[in-house]
A and B are shown apart, each in its own frame.
Chain A
């Protein structure tokens, strides 16, 4: 089961771009890379998913190098409300019985604190 490593915490100021990098050296060929966001007292919320190269949506961008052993979540112009824990995951829900690779494994995440 591919695990991930990401910084425990990061600080930023309002209006800045924040980049959180995650390493996943043992990523499998069929694994996707996903980022979730969690606010206190709430369940995690899906932000973005990618397989390779770059993916962008209305919330964030995800950069994935060719070897896929790492990924970077980019949050443009953060605000105070972006203060949360950000989780990097690799995997694919669609696995079959007998395989443990169908899990969604959450590491400890990165606590992002945005200051005024």
Chain B
């Protein structure tokens, strides 16, 4: 397996534009997590899914952020409209769950909103 695949690796966009980040989890993993990492706030959990169903989205900053998981092999995180303070590295991770706390992270998407 190629691991968790995120795209794009880098994204530069103008304030107000819509941004869509994509994630392909490891096949067979039942859990999918979206994290955001900044120097100021560290790694923040935004939302996680279990069997494609959102379980906890309390970390989503505001209504401008939305996440979907239409099937077991694909998830998106959308920001509309984007703002400069959304600039961060966004990580997607997946886990089989049976190992309790072991999750596999993608390489991340570095988002810059200018």
Contact = CB atoms under 8 A, between A and B. Distances in A.
What class of interface size applies to chain A in its complex with B?
20 to 34
Interface of B: prevailing SS = strand
Interface in A63-116: 87, 89, 91-97, 100, 102-109
A35 to B, nearest CB: 10
A93 B97 contact: yes
B99 A49 contact: yes
Nearest to B3: A43
B107 A43 contact: yes
B36 to A, nearest CB: 11
A45 interface: yes
A43 B105 contact: yes
Given A42-B107, A93-B97, A103 B56 contact: yes
Given A42-B108, A46-B104, A104-B45, 13 more contacts: A34-B102, A43-B4, A43-B91, A43-B106, A43-B108, A44-B105, A46-B102, A49-B100, A94-B98, A103-B48, A103-B59, A104-B33, A109-B42
Interface of A: 32, 34, 41-46, 49, 87, 89, 91-97, 100, 102-109
